[in-house]
Amino acid sequence: GENVEQHPSTLSVQEGDSAVIKCTYSDSASNYFPWYKQELGKGPQLIIDIRSNVGEKKDQRIAVTLNKTAKHFSLHITETQPEDSAVYFCAASTGTASKLTFGTGTRLQVTL
């Protein structure tokens, strides 16, 4: 089955700096790659996703890049703010199965 690895497990940045979280996947058939943000005591919330026919996608301060050849994808957050502090999860899915396999999460802390 699919295996998703996520790095780093913790990340501390100063407010205004950029943050990058990287994930690799094992199943070359995977074609959907979402990113979730989880705040303390809440469920994961979808923040951005990308499909295998696209190399990059942006939404304001958030961007995701996908390298299908290398089987890795990354989340980029620019101009970080204290409210960006949370745990971020990457995931991968093969479209027909509709099952999401998650990475182990990255705890992002944005310091003032």
Partner 1 sequence: NAGVTQTPKFQVLKTGQSMTLQCAQDMNHEYMSWYRQDPGMGLRLIHYSVGAGITDQGEVPNGYNVSRSTTEDFPLRLLSAAPSQTSVYFCASGSVLYGYTFGSGTRLTVV
Beta-strand runs (E) in 1-112: 4-7, 10-14, 19-25, 32-38, 45-51, 56-59, 62-67, 72-77, 86-92, 101-102, 106-111
Q: Is 68 in the site for partner 1 (CB under 8 A)?
A: no
- Among 19, 21, 24, 34, the residue binding partner 1 under the rule CB under 8 A is 34
35 binds partner 1 (CB under 8 A): no
**Applying CB under 8 A, which residues contact partner 1?**
1, 6, 9, 31-32, 34, 36, 42-46, 49, 51, 89, 93, 95, 98-105
